[in-house]
């Protein structure tokens, strides 16, 4: 036989260059069926013993298989369980330090983009960060990063913090895109990109290494590890050259003119202030404090830029006293999906009302009313009498760990009822039953 069926329905072709890797994945899925992936973590030990190149090939095979499982989701009852196991395996593989080439990275990015509604691209981005320690971005890698950036959307795979961290990493990586046309109206930091592109020879090499060390997802305060790595980069540029460029780039802050500031630019500004503090140079410090006079086009950018001045002894209290920043806002709390998963069976007073004279329960959603029959497990929308069922292919894998395709128990019925309480969001996962 030229093809072999895997336990997840995937057909292995003997002519596929990834056949051996796909066979290993089939063996893994078959052997892993006894483990509950929602309760027991996968043992990483045997996977860490694989040769590095075999692991890179296995990552590609896993990504290709995940894409296949998504494409055939509607016809496979347990595709979500296979995906869950494969994503756990992928996370184990991606924690292994691997010597990925540019071709490897481009393949991983290409295969990860279609999966971003189910998983985050941490693996390719982590490998890219390691790759960039000794190599530079290329137009093709930048194109792949823009595809990831375009696929970002807040949904069931992440919370706000993870979304923000991912966006910050991408903004900073793409800030180093040397082939993107410059646009001074986009951000103050375009002057840095402009001057860097004009550099040549060893000077350009030294400044590129310094700029590559800028971080988008760094914490508010300068980490000691970042500072240790920054010191030799700063020394390679030289104090005199750094001082000259730093003062030129910060001079617009004294102009009194409203300046634009992009997301990437705010991180560039913070890290440049960190570099400035490491010089321990009085003239550089004086230039850094020009930031206190800056006027941004969008006032909310003031807080982003000012907080980094703490490295020069400008405290939050002083910034608050000068009305340069505002008190921190409280956290917005867990997402709607998190609330649902944590409180699936908590009745909301007045919005779930059992009918004492029948077997029905009335659900008051945010958009519609629904009648839920506890015996037949039928859900009917009151406005048009449409009988609803889950649109299973659209249900995220994270929700499938609680929901089943068929409404085969009162527990499943009530899970659906609680989703419909928030039908302005979860209503997208229900369609009229055409049977």
- Residue pair 352/361 in contact (Cβ under 8 Å)? The answer is yes
CA angle 225, 305, 187 (to 5 degrees): 105
Per-residue pLDDT of the chain (435 residues; tens, 9 = 90+): 688 999 999 999 999 999 999 999 999 999 999 888 878 889 999 999 999 999 999 999 999 999 999 999 989 988 999 999 999 999 999 999 999 999 999 999 999 999 998 888 999 999 999 999 999 999 999 999 999 999 886 444 456 677 788 888 999 999 999 999 999 999 999 999 999 999 999 999 999 999 999 998 888 889 999 999 999 999 999 999 999 999 999 999 999 899 999 999 999 999 999 999 999 999 999 999 999 888 898 877 776 677 778 888 776 566 556 555 555 554 444 444 554 545 444 445 567 777 777 888 888 888 888 989 888 888 999 888 899 999 888 888 878 878 888 888 888 888 888 888 888 888 888 999 876
- Residue pair 335/159 in contact (Cβ under 8 Å)? The answer is yes
Residue 334 has a pLDDT of 46
Residue 330 has a pLDDT of 47
Bridge partners (DSSP) listed for residue 23:
none
CA angle 117, 118, 119 (to 5 degrees): 105
Neighbours of 433 (CB within 10 A): 13
- Residue pair 421/353 in contact (Cβ under 8 Å)? The answer is no
Q: What is the DSSP string of 174-242?
A: HHT-TTSPP-TTT-TTHHHHHHHHH--HHHHHHHHHHHHT--SS--SSPPHHHHHHHHHHHHHH-HHHH
Residue 347 has a pLDDT of 46
The rounded distance, in Å, linking the Cα atoms of 395 and 430 is 9
Q: Classify the C-alpha dihedral 114-119-120-125 as positive or negative.
A: negative
Rounded to two decimals, what is the model's pTM? 0.77
Neighbours of 385 (CB within 10 A): 9
Helix (H, G, I), strand (E, B) or coil at 352: strand
Bridge partners (DSSP) listed for residue 373:
360, 378
Phi, psi of 269 (to 5 degrees): -60, -45
CB burial of residue 79 (10 Å; 0-12, 13-18, 19+)? buried
Structure tokens at 340: 């649902």
- Residue pair 31/89 in contact (Cβ under 8 Å)? The answer is no
Nearest CA to 6 among 65, 90, 57?
Answer: 65
Nearest CA to 430 among 384, 400, 387?
Answer: 387
Task: Give the DSSP H or E segment for 37.
Answer: none
Q: How many CA atoms lie within 13 A of 359 on its CB side?
A: 9
Neighbours of 173 (CB within 10 A): 24
The rounded distance, in Å, linking the Cα atoms of 68 and 379 is 32
Q: Classify the C-alpha dihedral 394-397-398-403 as positive or negative.
A: positive
Residue 303: CB partners within 8 Å, gap ≥ 6? Answer: 324, 325, 326
Bridge partners (DSSP) listed for residue 353:
362
Residue 119 has a pLDDT of 87
């Amino acid at each position: 036989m030229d093809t072999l069926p895997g336990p997840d329905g995937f057909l292995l072709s003997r002519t596929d260059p990834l056949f051996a890797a796909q066979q290993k994945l089939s063996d893994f899925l078959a052997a892993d069926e006894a483990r509950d992936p929602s309760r027991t973590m996968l043992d990483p030990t045997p996977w860490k013993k694989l040769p590095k190149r075999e692991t890179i090939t296995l990552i590609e095979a896993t990504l290709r298989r995940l894409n296949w499982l998504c494409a055939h989701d509607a016809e496979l009852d347990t595709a979500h369980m296979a995906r869950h196991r494969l994503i756990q395996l992928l996370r184990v593989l991606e924690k292994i330090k691997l010597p990925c080439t540019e071709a490897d990275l481009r393949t991983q990015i290409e295969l990860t983009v279609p999966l971003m509604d189910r998983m985050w691209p941490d693996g390719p981005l982590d490998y890219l960060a390691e790759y960039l320690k000794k190599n530079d971005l290329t137009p093709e890698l930048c194109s792949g990063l823009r595809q990831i950036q375009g696929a970002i959307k807040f949904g069931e795979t992440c919370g706000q913090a993870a979304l923000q961290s991912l966006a910050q990493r991408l903004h900073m990586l793409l800030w180093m895109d040397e082939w993107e046309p410059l646009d001074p109206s986009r951000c103050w930091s375009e002057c840095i990109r402009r001057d860097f592109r004009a550099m040549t020879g060893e000077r350009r090499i030294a400044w590129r290494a310094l700029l590559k060390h800028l971080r988008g997802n760094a914490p508010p305060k300068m980490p000691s590890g970042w500072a240790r790595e920054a010191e030799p980069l700063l020394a390679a540029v030289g104090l005199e050259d750094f001082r000259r460029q730093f003062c030129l780039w910060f001079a617009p802050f004294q102009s009194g003119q409203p300046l634009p500031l992009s997301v990437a630019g705010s991180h560039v500004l913070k890290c440049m202030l960190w570099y400035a503090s490491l010089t321990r140079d009085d003239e550089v410090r004086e230039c850094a404090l020009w930031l206190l006079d800056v006027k941004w086009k969008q006032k909310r950018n003031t807080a982003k830029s000012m907080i980094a001045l703490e490295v020069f002894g400008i405290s939050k209290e002083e910034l608050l006293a000068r009305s340069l920043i505002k008190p921190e806002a409280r956290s917005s709390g867990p997402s709607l999906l998190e609330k649902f998963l944590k409180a699936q069976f908590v009745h909301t007073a007045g919005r779930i009302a059992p009918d004492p004279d029948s077997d029905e329960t009335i659900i008051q959603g945010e958009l519609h009313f629904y009648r839920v029959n506890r015996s037949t497990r039928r859900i009917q929308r009151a406005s048009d009498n449409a009988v609803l069922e889950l649109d299973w292919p659209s249900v995220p894998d994270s929700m499938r760990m609680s929901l089943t395709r068929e409404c085969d128990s009162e527990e499943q019925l009530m899970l659906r009822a609680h989703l419909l309480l928030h039908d302005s969001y979860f209503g997208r996962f229900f369609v009229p039953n055409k049977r």
